[in-house]
Amino acid sequence: MDTLDKIKALREELTLHNYNYYVLDAPVISDLEFDMKLKELQALEEKHPEYFDVDSPTQRVGGAITKNFNTVVHEYRMYSLDNSYSKEELLEWEKRVQKGLGTDKVEYTCELKYDGASISITYEGGKLSKAVTRGDGFQGDEVTTNIRTIRSVPLTLKGEYPDKFEIRGEIILPLEGFAKMNQELIEIGETPYANPRNTASGSLKLQDSAEVAKRPLDCLLYSLVGNLPIKTQFEGLEKARQWGFKVPKEARLAKNMDEVIAFIEYWDTHRHDLPYETDGVVVKVNDIHQQEELGYTAKSPRWAIAYKFKAERVVTKLNFISYQVGRTGAITPVANLEPVQLAGTTVKRASLHNADQIEKLDVRVGDEVFVEKGGEIIPKIIAVDFTKRNPDSMPTEYIHKCPECLTELVRKEGEAQHYCPNFYGCPPQIIGRVQHYISRKAMDIEGLGGETVALLYNSGLIHNYADLYDLKKEQVIPLERMADKSAENLVNGIKKSKQVPFERVLYALGIRYVGETVAKKLARHYRNIDSLAKASLMDLILVDEIGEKIAQSVVDFFANEENLILIERLKGYGVQLEMGEETNTTVSDRLSGKTFVVSGVFSKFSRDELKKAIEANGGKVGSSISSKTDYVVAGDNMGPAKLEKANQLGIAIISEDDFIEMIG
C-alpha cells in the first residue's frame, strides 16, 4: 500500500469511527485507539502536504480566525414556527389544516423541539460547502469554519444523495458537556454560563474556530430543503440518517391527532431523561405535496406548529439571602430555599443576580416564591406569591459591606453588580486568583486543586500565587487529606510550572479582561513582561484587537505596587516572563501587515524555518487560505486544494526564491 492509499484508508476508517461515536453513539474502538490512529494520520499528512484534504478528520480541530462573519442571503427562507400551548389550540390548528386541504386524511410527523441555535448547512457533491445561521430568516451569518469543527456534522456524505441541497437543524450543547464547561469556569473563579442555548449560539460566533472545537457542541438535523427525491417529512428524516446526519430517533409518524397528543404527553414527562434540552414538540404535516398546498403565512408555514411545554415551576419558601464574592470582587446574591423537587433534582439555592433584580421582584426573606427551571440550568426566582406574604415583612436591604472582609462595597455607574474593592485583602478574591493561576489553561499545576489552594491560604501558608514557590514538602504534609506522596507531587508540580510559556503565565496573572486569546496577543506583541508593564494606554489600544477597556485594565494592573512586587518575585523564582529565544528573533518589519500561507516542499528552508522567517520579519502565518491572505509561498507538490483556492481568490503565489528576495 503506497502512502496516498494509506492516508485514504486511515481517513475512511477514522471518519467511520467518528460517525459511530458522535452520530450513532455506538463506538467500536477505545478513545486511545482512535487517538493513536489520528496521530498516525496527522504525521503522514504533515510529511506529505501534497495530499492535504480539507475534509480529513485531522481538520476538525479548527484554527481559522474569522474577524467578520459574512452576511449570506438564504436561498430558501428560514421561517419561524407558530406556537401552541394547549391541546385545544392544537386541535384548532388541525381544523385549519384539514379545511385548507379539503380532507381529514392527514398524517403528521412529531419531532422534539430542540433548544439551541438554528443552522442551515449546504452540501454540494456530497461535501459540506456552507453553513449559515438563521439570522432574521432572510439572511444570516456564514459560520462554516466553526460548524466544520462539530464532530457530528458530516464533512462528506454516505450513499446516494442529491448533488446539492440544504439541511436545517439545531446546534446544541448537551447538558453533561455544559455542566462540565461551567464546573471548569467555577473552579477558576469565572462566572458560569447561564444556559446551554445561549452558550451554543454564542459559540457559533467565536472568532477562533479552534476555541469552537474545544466546546462539546452537537448538531441535530431535522429538515431537508431543495429539489429532493422525497415524498414525506418522515422519509426525509430517514434519508438524512442514511446519508450520515445525526437525526434524533425520537421522531414518530402519527396517523392522527390522538397519536400526536399521546407523543406530546409522553415527552412532557420523559424529556428530563434526554441528554439535551427540549422545550416542546414540533408537529408537521407529513406529506410534502400537502405541505406545498398549505403554503406559508408571512412568518410561518401553515403546515407546522410547535407545542410548547410549560416551564418547570414550583413554589417554596425563601429562608435567607446569602452573598458570594467572586475572584474579581463581584458580589452575587443567592436565595437559600426550603428544599424542593424541580425537574428531577432537589433545589436548595437559586441565583438572585443583583440588587436591581431583588428590587424588581420585591423579594423578601420569608416569602413564598415561584422558582423556575425552564431554559436555565441554574434555577431562578421569577416571582413572589404576594397573597402569602407576612404583612410585617420589610423590603430586602442589599448589603453595604463585603460579607468576607467588611470593606464598603462599590457599584460603578452603568454596572449592575456591586464589587468589593479590597482586591488584595479579601480572602475569596485572593483564593480565587490563586485558583485561577493554577488552573488547567493557565499554569496547570499538577497535584494542586482548588480545595487545596483554600487549605493553603486558610493555614497561613500562602497569601498570593508567588508564595506557592516558597512551599516546602514538610509544610504541606500536615494539611488535611495530604499524604507524603501527594505533598511531593504538589511541590514538584509547582516547580515544573516554571517552564510554562510566557503567554500562559500572562493569562495566569489574572489581569481583568485578559483571557487566553488576549494574553497570547499581548505576549507576542510585547515579548516580555517589562515591555508590557511600560506600555501606555494608547500603545495598548493600537495593538490588534485590544480595546480601551482591556488596555485600561492592563495599565491599572501594572500601576499597582503589589502587582509589581509579585512579578519581581516570580522573576526571581524563574517563572517565564518573556517569550523564548527561538520566537524572539525579530529581524525586520518588511512583512508587517502581510499574511502568508506556506504550502509544499522547499529546498532552502524547512516549512518551520519559512514560518519563523515570516514572523521574524513582521509578517503573520495563516493556517489556511482566505480573503485575508496576501501571499502563498509555494514549494514543490503544493496541495491542489490550496492552489485552486488561491487562484479563485486571486492571491499572489510566490516561490521560495521570491520570498528570499522579499526579505532581502
Residue 650 scores a pLDDT above 70: yes
- Residue 587 domain-assigned (yes or no): no
Mapped onto helix, strand or coil, the DSSP state of residue 351 is: strand
Share of the chain above pLDDT 70, in %: 95
- Residue where a domain stops, chosen among 40, 61, 82: 61
Residue 165 near residue 226, CB atoms below 8 Å: yes
- Residue where a domain stops, chosen among 476, 499, 522: 499
Q: Domains in the chain: how many in total?
A: 6
φ, ψ (nearest 5 deg) of residue 394 = -115, 150
Choice among 184-198, 316-330, 337-351 with the minimum mean pLDDT: 184-198
Q: What sign for the dihedral angle of Cα 504, 510, 514, 516?
A: positive
Q: Is 604 a catalytic residue?
A: no
Summarize pLDDT for 362-405 with one digit per residue, the tens.
999 999 998 887 544 578 888 888 888 888 889 999 999 999 99
Do 133 and 271 reside in the same domain of the chain? yes
Residue 462 near residue 472, CB atoms below 8 Å: no
**CA distances in angstroms from 106 to 76, 85, 93, 262, 440, listed in the order given:** 25, 22, 12, 17, 56
Residue 180 scores a pLDDT above 90: no
Summarize pLDDT for 343-365 with one digit per residue, the tens.
667 889 988 889 998 998 899 99
Summarize pLDDT for 98-134 with one digit per residue, the tens.
988 888 899 999 999 988 899 999 999 999 999 999 9
Residue 77 near residue 138, CB atoms below 8 Å: yes
Do 250 and 358 reside in the same domain of the chain? no
Residues with Cβ < 8 Å from 277, sequence gap 6 or more?
A: 114, 115, 116, 172, 175, 195, 196, 197, 375
- Residue 579 domain-assigned (yes or no): no
Do 275 and 326 reside in the same domain of the chain? no
Do 434 and 377 reside in the same domain of the chain? no
Q: Which of 6, 99, 113, 360 is catalytic?
A: 113
> What b-and-e string marks burial along 197-217, b requiring 16 or more CB atoms within 10 Å of the CB?
bbbbbebbebbbbbbbbebeb
C-alpha cell at 578: 518573556
C-alpha cell at 447: 497535584
Q: Name the residue range of residue 495's domain.
A: 427-499
CATH of the domain at 534: 1.10.150.20
Do 178 and 301 reside in the same domain of the chain? yes
- Cβ burial, residue 379 (10 Å; 0-12/13-18/19+): buried
- Give the β-pairing of 652-654 and 164-172: unpaired
DSSP code of residue 184:
H
Residue 649 near residue 625, CB atoms below 8 Å: yes
What are the strands, taking DSSP E only, across 506-630? 595-599, 620-621
φ, ψ (nearest 5 deg) of residue 376 = -95, 140
What's the whole-model pTM score? 0.54
Amino acid at 447: G
Largest CA distance in the chain: 87
- Residue 585 domain-assigned (yes or no): no
Q: Give the pLDDT of residue 597.
A: 86
Summarize pLDDT for 566-616 with one digit per residue, the tens.
999 999 999 999 987 644 456 788 898 888 888 877 888 777 688 888 988
